[in-house]
């Protein structure tokens, strides 16, 4: 089954913080990794403990995509950030998860 992917307004703003080539890397990875079986844990996808960003995390190089799966076939991207060492940044702000 193919899943629909939707970016929230917050995720769209998060994406706008990145350069064009970084956006392309992130969007290509979202399409490749979340269109099919987004709830299967892999080396780059993992479920998270409860947090405000999302119940799942997709790791793409230094970038992090936080998402939930809703209505059976909808992947809703809630936030996009990047990691520097062990610190997560979303729109330039340090985030604790």
Determine how β-strand 56-60 pairs with β-strand 63-70: antiparallel
Question: Mean pLDDT, the chain, as a whole number?
Answer: 96
**pLDDT given for residue 38 in this prediction:** 97
Q: How many CB atoms lie within 10 A of CB 8?
A: 16
User: What CATH class has 4-95?
Assistant: alpha beta
Per-residue pLDDT band at 79 (split at 50, 70, 90):
very high
**pLDDT given for residue 71 in this prediction:** 84
- 29-69: pLDDT as tens digits: 999 999 999 999 999 999 999 999 999 999 999 999 999 99
* C-alpha pair distances (Å), 95 with each of 2, 19, 50, 71, 72: 31, 20, 14, 28, 29
């Amino acid at each position: 089954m193919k899943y629909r992917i939707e970016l929230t307004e917050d995720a769209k703003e998060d994406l706008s913080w990145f350069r064009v080539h970084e956006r392309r890397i992130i969007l290509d990875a979202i399409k490749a990794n979340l269109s099919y079986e987004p709830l299967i844990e892999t080396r780059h996808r993992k479920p998270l403990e409860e947090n405000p960003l999302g119940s799942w995390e997709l790791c793409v190089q230094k970038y992090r995509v936080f998402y939930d799966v809703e209505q059976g076939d909808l992947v809703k991207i809630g936030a996009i950030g990047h990691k520097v060492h062990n610190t997560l940044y979303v729109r330039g702000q340090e985030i604790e998860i």
